[in-house]
């Protein structure tokens, strides 16, 4: 048997803008990292930020073949760099949540008979009934959401079953739209996967089950019984249970890696594939979140999530099954206007430089002299409002801010929103609270300083900016022993801990206390203006 240091576990993350991989050894040390950027490494798919925004500005999709080709590319990259696949004991991973993949009839056959002499993408050309997979940024399914909520008796009733009221990006509503507007394609589909279970299927050489945690982001699963809810299935599309098959625990070993990977890359025959999950659940694992911690992910989307024991679903935010402990849950709030909005303001106000963006942040005092901004370039999720709204210290609308004030207003506004909504869900910041930050923007200390000041709590990061990937590797390791009763915490207890990145500035709480109240009132006003 290989010594712990020679054992290897892989975690993949099929997120919005890139495919990433992390390798860890048996001592949980990171030994390798690689990534493929969709826009720049696969320009033939002509994506921007990994997606295509359609003419109606509401429909957002990604080409499913791009994800397949990205896997070909990343594995080739690793092979060319001399990565030794023969030590990989298990692999797992994650995908951007809610996105869906439609496997055409006969695709299972293709998956089961892959020729190791060829690329995956050339062999799977004909395997998808829908080429453009709806992704989490889509907000074109308002009608389908309304139908689903009325079918089960209302928004709160739907949340009581599935953990969330109906959301446009949630997979069930996307499936309902495909069934209504692309009926032939729906009928040609033999299996529907999430991005996560689609990725697991590629490694397995067969259809992989949807896991409980990512399955919670579909508006289809009863998060308490962990079965598909029949009323939700009925209200969504016909023969849906057949196309989804039963969900499985996120810790489940789904099988061994397919012969294709053994012959083409040298994976060992007994390398196990552990269920893939959503990228936010994956991050919860990668950051080894503990009860009481609050996690803030600053990826393409911004998300805030918590580990919870007693879920009380409401019409705001989401409750998902916990990916590492089947008796627990996680609460999550998602913001669509995250990194892409920060990038826009960086380009307009700091000549495209993060360094300039940081300088501007530091140059304006905390609290921004009472100026507050709300920047919803795209229709926001929490709350469902749109547009750029600037207010001076008297609460009067203003048309512009100076560049420096604009940058601080954006970052403060984004974090005030996170704290306001986390508190609405019942979260209390108490002495001892840790904020764990991850995602691309967590590499920026000046952004983290604002986060720490607004939350009045220390912010910690882990060495690997992509905690979802690392979570995949940890979950792969845990999956091998989960059946025998070993807890996730026990399996990863030797992993390096999170490191303190920044602490709150003295006096920040006195400044942000009143601003939190003001922000909540202004957001309410903006929401009224949007809906009214």
Ligand X SMILES: O=C(CO)[C@@H](O)[C@H](O)COP(=O)(O)O
Pairing status of strand 132-134 against strand 88-95:
unpaired
**136 near ligand X (CB under 6 A):** yes
Which residues face 331 on adjacent strands? 306, 319
Burial of 327 (0-12, 13-18, 19+ CB in 10 A): exposed
Q: Is 236 in the site for ligand X (CB under 6 A)?
A: no
From the list 97, 236, 250, 277, which residue makes contact with ligand X (rule: CB under 6 A)? 97
Count of residues engaged in binding ligand X, rule: CB under 6 A: 16
Question: Counting contacts by CB under 6 A, is residue 282 touching ligand ADP?
Answer: no
Closest CB to ligand X among residues 338, 367: 338
Tokens of 28: 């949980």
Query: Which is nearer to ligand ADP, 53 or 123 (by Cβ)?
Result: 53
Q: Is 266 exposed, middle or buried (0-12, 13-18, 19+ CB in 10 A)?
A: middle
Interface with ligand X in residues 6-35 (CB under 6 A): 15-16
- How many whole angstroms separate alpha carbon 362 and alpha carbon 408? 9
Interface segment toward ligand X; rule CB under 6 A; list 52-60, 300-308, 322-330, 342-350 = 300-308
What is the contact mask toward ligand X in residues 303 to 342, using x (rule: CB under 6 A)? x------------------------------x--------
Q: Is 404 in the site for ligand ADP (CB under 6 A)?
A: no
Contact in structure between 204 and 267 (CB atoms under 8 Å): no
Q: Nearer Cβ to ligand X, position 95 or 247?
A: 95
> Which of 21, 20, 31, 492 is CA-nearest to residue 288?
492
Q: Which residues of 228-248 are buried (b: 16+ CB within 10 A; e: fewer)?
A: bbeebbebbbeebeebbbebb
* Torsion on CA atoms 494, 15, 453, 515, rounded to nearest 10: -150
Query: Does the footprint of ligand ADP cover residue 354 (CB under 6 A)?
Result: yes
Binding range to ligand ADP, per CB under 6 A, among 24-32, 190-198, 239-247, 335-343 = 335-343
Sequence-ordered list of residues with C-beta below 8 angstroms from that of 144, at least 6 positions apart, any chain: 166, 173, 174, 176, 177, 180, 236
15 lies in the site for ligand ADP, by CB under 6 A:
yes
**Closest distance to ligand ADP from the beta carbon of 459 (Å):** 14
Minimum CB distance to ligand ADP, residue 369 (Å): 23
Tokens for 339, please give them.
């990194």
Q: Does 530 bind ligand ADP (CB under 6 A)?
A: no
Q: Which residues are within 8 A (CB) of 90 and not within 5 positions of it... i.e. 6 or more apart?
A: 9, 10, 253, 271, 272, 273, 274, 476, 477, 479, 480
Which of these segments, 198-206, 235-243, 274-282, 356-364, binds ligand X (CB under 6 A)? 274-282
The one segment of 100-108, 248-256, 367-375, 435-443 that binds ligand ADP by CB under 6 A: 435-443
Binding region for ligand X (CB under 6 A): 15-16, 96-98, 136, 169, 217, 278-280, 299-301, 303, 334
């Amino acid at each position: 048997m290989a010594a712990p240091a020679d054992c290897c576990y892989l975690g993949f993350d099929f997120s919005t803008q890139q495919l990433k991989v992390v390798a860890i050894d048996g001592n949980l040390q990171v030994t390798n990292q690689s990534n493929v950027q969709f826009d720049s490494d696969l320009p033939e798919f002509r994506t921007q930020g990994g997606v295509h925004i359609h003419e109606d500005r509401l429909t957002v999709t990604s080409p499913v073949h791009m994800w397949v080709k990205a896997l070909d590319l990343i594995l080739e990259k690793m092979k060319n760099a001399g990565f030794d696949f023969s030590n990989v004991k298990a692999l797992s991973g994650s995908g951007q949540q809610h996105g869906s993949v439609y496997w055409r009839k006969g695709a299972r056959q293709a998956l089961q008979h892959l020729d190791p002499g060829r690329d995956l993408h050339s062999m799977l050309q004909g395997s998808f009934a829908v080429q453009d997979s709806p992704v989490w940024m889509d907000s074109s399914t308002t009608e389908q959401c309304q139908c689903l909520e009325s079918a089960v008796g209302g928004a709160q009733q739907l949340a009581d079953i599935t953990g969330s009221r109906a959301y446009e990006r949630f997979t069930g509503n996307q499936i309902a739209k495909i069934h209504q507007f692309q009926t032939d394609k729906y009928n040609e589909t033999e299996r529907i996967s999430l991005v996560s279970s689609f990725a697991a299927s590629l490694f397995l050489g067969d259809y992989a089950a949807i896991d409980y945690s990512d399955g919670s982001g579909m508006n289809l699963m009863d998060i308490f019984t962990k079965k598909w809810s029949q009323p939700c299935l009925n209200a969504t599309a016909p023969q849906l249970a057949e196309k989804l098959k039963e969900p499985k625990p996120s810790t489940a070993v789904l099988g061994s890696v397919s012969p294709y990977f053994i012959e083409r890359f040298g994976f060992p025959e007994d390398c196990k594939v552990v269920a893939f999950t959503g990228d936010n659940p994956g991050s919860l694992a990668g950051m080894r979140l503990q009860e009481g911690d609050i996690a803030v992910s600053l990826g393409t989307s911004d998300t805030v999530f918590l580990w919870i024991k007693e879920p009380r679903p409401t019409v705001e935010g989401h409750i998902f099954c916990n990916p590492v402990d089947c008796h627990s849950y996680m609460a999550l709030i998602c913001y669509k206007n995250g990194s892409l909005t920060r990038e826009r303001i960086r380009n307009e106000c700091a000549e495209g430089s993060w360094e300039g963006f940081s300088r501007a942040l530091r140059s304006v005092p905390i609290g921004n002299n009472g100026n507050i901004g709300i920047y919803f370039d795209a229709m926001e999720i929490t709350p469902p409002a749109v547009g750029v709204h600037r207010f001076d210290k008297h609460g009067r609308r203003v048309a512009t801010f100076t560049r420096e004030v604009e940058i601080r207003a954006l970052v403060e506004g984004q974090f005030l929103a996170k704290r306001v909504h986390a508190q609405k869900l019942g979260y209390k910041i108490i002495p001892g609270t840790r904020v764990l930050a991850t995602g691309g923007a967590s590499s920026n200390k000046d952004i983290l300083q604002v986060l720490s000041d607004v939350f009045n709590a220390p912010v910690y990061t882990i060495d690997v900016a992509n905690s979802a990937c690392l979570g995949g590797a940890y979950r792969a390791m845990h999956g091998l022993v989960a059946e025998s009763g070993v807890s996730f915490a026990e399996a990863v207890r030797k992993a390096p801990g999170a490191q303190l990145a920044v602490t709150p500035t003295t006096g920040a709480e006195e400044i942000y206390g009143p601003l939190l109240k003001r922000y909540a009132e202004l957001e309410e006003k903006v929401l009224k203006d949007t809906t009214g």
